[in-house]
Amino acid sequence: MQDLGDLDSLYRELILDHHRSPRNTEPLISPDVEVDAVNPFCGDEVKVQLKTSGGTLNGISVTGRGCSISQSSASMMGELVKGRSVEDAMRARRAFQALMKGEALTEDQLADLGDLEALQGVKRYPVRIKCALLAWSALEDALKRVRA
Amino acid sequence: MKTSRRGEIYDVMKVREDFPVLARKVNGHQLVYLDNAATSQKPRQVIAALVDYYERYNANVHRGVHTLSIEATDAYEEARAKVQKFINAPVPESVIWTRNTSESINLVAYAYARKHLKAGDEIVTTVMEHHSDLISWQQICKELGTRLRFIPRTEEGLIDLSTIDEIISARTKLVAVTHMSNVLGTIVPVREIAERAHAVGAVILVDGAQSVPHMPVDVQDLDCDFLAFSGHKMLGPTGIGVLYGKPEILEDMQPFMYGSDMILEVSYEGAKWNQLPYKFEAGTPNIADAIATGAAVDYLENLGMDAVWRHEQQLTAYALRRFAELENYRVVGPTDPSLRGGTISFTHDQVHPHDLGTALDRLGIAIRTGHHCAMPLVKSYGHAAVARASMYIYNHEGEIDHLIEGLKQAEGYFSHAGSRRS
């Protein structure tokens, strides 16, 4: 696949793995909050359900349908924030958004993002950034409601 | 009509020379432009018409007595007459310049439907409309208390006329249907629907955005009351559209927008509306783009719309045959090339359309992915998005081969990706 070889910087193996076998897709029974996000541009969907106690996300379900970028980002996001504090999740969201905007991240910020660093290549494909951010906008809404 | 040595209806390679953008390379590959249902490319002749107007006789129309203004007015009105002939409208004043198909439809919604429809009346459309021929009517229904009804599709994606006599009834006052689906490529039997609409005393609007650029369209033969279409999908510039209306119906309508050019006489107390078509063209119109649309019509007439349509039918048949060879790709819509145009939507069993679109772009192939402004239709097939390749006069079998090859490569890329190093 010589011609498509330069796609490897976008479609890292970790991304395709999360797309093929997304994590944390079991729906929560009676979640505290539930948020749906849709990208009207392409029709991609992500649903985030959260259960919290004492400021910790002790239950998360992330489901949806769409392209490999939107769905892998959703799956990795769920893995990252599961069991973390609301503050940690908010910080991760800010770091991921900065990564997509092409801003320089500190080592701490990169470490905060874990596997999501694999999505770095997306910033070279501006029309796909919205795909990567879809799940995070749902998470942001959900976190705001948790805190409200 | 002669057939060239390549079995083509006209010399496609010669046509391509008229389109500067087609010589472009994208990501190191020769551009293969297959997003014509979104917008077509423009030939040198159309671009030259724009430049000529701005360089030689730029002036406002219908106002000045000076030479430039007279020339601009003549060219603007000549372009209208070209469009009139192109769609076989009875008189030039039945052709109104708008901004695009959406504005043409809105004009009918506001200036016709609001005046002539009332609560309890029904508007009939199809399940395969573009959002611009759906949302206007939804809003009118909310405002007036009219009811929106839908002509269904068959499983395959053809219009199902079996219940048409029940759906279009004495309560129907307006029928608005697309002539060709921008997703499925389906040709809608407009003449039959018009006949039924007129039998119950309703008017019919045809959304010709996807048909007028591709096939001979004759408003008198279709017997439609309104026809809406855009310049930019038929080699013309963006920002210009057309509404055709039967003159007696247009006469009976109120203006849609108020301003200069659409009045005959103004006092401090009121105004008397200008005659057709100016009643509907308030303010300084889009002069340059109207003139360039005339040049686009010339270009298409020169090829002949019969030839354009035959070329696309041939290419569509070829593309559908090639798609049938692919195991994991499925065409969404009718597979009989005689019942459809050259807009082919498809999906892959595993790979998402958006990922396909990005992969093809790496190979210089431009297609569109998404819901194509027809969300309910795409959903009814169980998809949130589909990929779409759409053809025009300058596409050829070699480009279809590139597309098919690209789709195979994309499939290979995404299915073998598991063996790559991360």
Contact A66 B363 (CB under 8 A): no
Closest CA to B115 of B256, B245, B246, B225: B256
Write the DSSP assignment of B352-395 as a string of letters.
-HHHHHHHHHHTTEE-EEE-TT-HHHHHHTT-S-EEEEE--TT-
Q: Radius of gyration over alpha carbons of chain A, in Å? A: 15
Q: In B, which residues are within 8 Å of A41 by CB distance?
A: 370
Please tell me which of the candidates A13, A20, A41 has its beta carbon nearest to residue B421. Answer: A13
ipTM: 0.85
Cβ pairs bridging A and B (under 8 Å):
76
Neighboring chain A residues of B378 at a CB cutoff of 8 Å: 43
Strands (DSSP E) contained in B114-163 are: 122-126, 147-151
Number of H helices, E strands in chain B: 15, 17
Residues B82, B92: Cα–Cα separation, whole Å:
9
Asked if B385 and A66 come within 8 Å (Cβ–Cβ), the reply is yes
Alpha-carbon distances of B179 from B104, B341, B399, rounded to whole Å:
15, 10, 26
Topology annotation, domain B47-302? Aspartate Aminotransferase; domain 2 (3.40.640)
What pLDDT does residue A6 have? Answer: 82
pLDDT of residue B4: 52
Predicted pLDDT of residue B418: 47
Q: Does B378 touch chain A (CB under 8 A)?
A: yes
Comparing alpha-carbon positions, the chain A residue that sits nearest to B361 is A4
d(CA A26, CA A82): 13
User: So where are chain B's domains?
Assistant: 12-30+304-419, 47-302
CA trace torsion B3, B5, B8, B12 (10° rounding) = -120
- For the record, the structure tokens of B174 come out as 């307006």
Q: Report how far residue B416's alpha carbon sits from residue B406's, in angstroms, rounded to the nearest whole number.
A: 15
Q: Do B422 and A45 touch (CB under 8 A)?
A: no
Whether residues B359 and A4 touch (CB distance < 8 A) is answered with: yes
pLDDT of residue A38: 93
Burial class (CB within 10 angstroms; exposed 0-12, middle 13-18, buried 19+) of B358: buried
Classify domain A5-147 by CATH architecture: Alpha-Beta Complex (3.90)
CA distance B228 to A46: 37
Catalytic residue, chosen from B297, B373, B393, B403, is B373
Task: Tell me the residue type at B50.
Answer: L
* Residues of chain B with confidence (pLDDT) below 50: 1-2, 418, 421-422
Angle between helices B397-416 and B353-362 (to 10 degrees): 120
Q: Which residue has the tokens 């701490």?
A: A108
* Average pLDDT along chain A, 148 residues, taken 10 residues at a time: 77 91 95 94 91 93 95 97 95 94 90 90 91 96 89
A69: chain B residues, CB-CB within 8 Å = 354-355
- Token pair belonging to A91: 């910080």
Cα A12 to Cα A4: distance, rounded to the nearest angstrom: 13
Nearest to A3 among B362, B370, B420 (CB): B362
Q: Long-range contacts for B221-228 (Cβ within 8 Å, ≥24 apart)?
A: B221/B88, B221/B191, B222/B190, B222/B191, B222/B194, B223/B191, B223/B194, B223/B195, B223/B198, B224/B190, B224/B194, B225/B249, B226/B104, B226/B108, B226/B112, B227/B87, B228/B98, B228/B101, B228/B104, B228/B105, B228/B108
Neighbours of B15 (CB within 10 A): 21
For B352, the closest of A3, A13, A66 (CB atoms) is A66
Q: How many other C-beta atoms lie within 10 A of the C-beta of residue B123?
A: 25
pLDDT for res A99: 94
- Rounded to a whole number of angstroms, the CA Rg of chain B reads 22
Q: List, as ranges, residues 314-373 from B with C-beta within 8 Å of A.
A: 352-355, 358-359, 362-363, 369-371
Element housing B316 (H / E): helix B305-324
The answer to whether residue B141 is catalytic is no
Amino acid identity of B262? M
* Strand ranges of the sheet holding B122-126, from the earlier edge strand across to the other edge: B95-98, B241-245, B226-230, B203-207, B172-178, B122-126, B147-151
Task: Spell out the domain ranges in chain A.
Answer: 5-147
* pLDDT value of position A1: 40
**Residue B38 to chain A, least CA–CA distance (Å):** 14
Pick the CATH number of B12-30+304-419 from 3.90.930.12, 3.10.150.10, 3.90.1150.10, 3.30.70.20: 3.90.1150.10
Helix (H, G, I), strand (E, B) or coil at B240: coil
* Residues B417, A13: C-beta atoms closer than 8 Å: yes
Measured CA distances, B222 to A124, B67, B88, B105, B225 (Å): 49, 40, 10, 18, 9
How would you classify the pairing of strands B329-332 and B343-348?
antiparallel
Whether residue B415 lies within 8 A of chain A, CB to CB, comes out as no
Check B359 against A7: CB less than 8 A apart: yes
Query: Does B408 contact A at CB distance below 8 Å?
Result: no
Does the beta carbon of A128 lie under 8 angstroms from any beta carbon of chain B? yes
Phi (first) and psi of residue B356, to 5 degrees: -60, -45
Q: How far apart are CA A47 and CA A31, in angstroms?
A: 12
The SS3 of residue A80 is: helix
Strands B203-207, B226-230: pairing kind: parallel
The pLDDT score that the predictor gives to residue A137 is 96
Nearest to B389 by CA among B347, B337, B418: B347
pLDDT of residue A43: 82
What length is written for chain B? 422
Tell me if chain B has a CB within 8 Å of the CB of A41.
yes
* Distance (Å, whole) CA A109 – CA B142: 50
Residues 6+ apart with CB under 8 A from A120: A99
Q: What is the pLDDT of residues B276-293, one digit of tens each?
A: 999 999 999 999 999 999
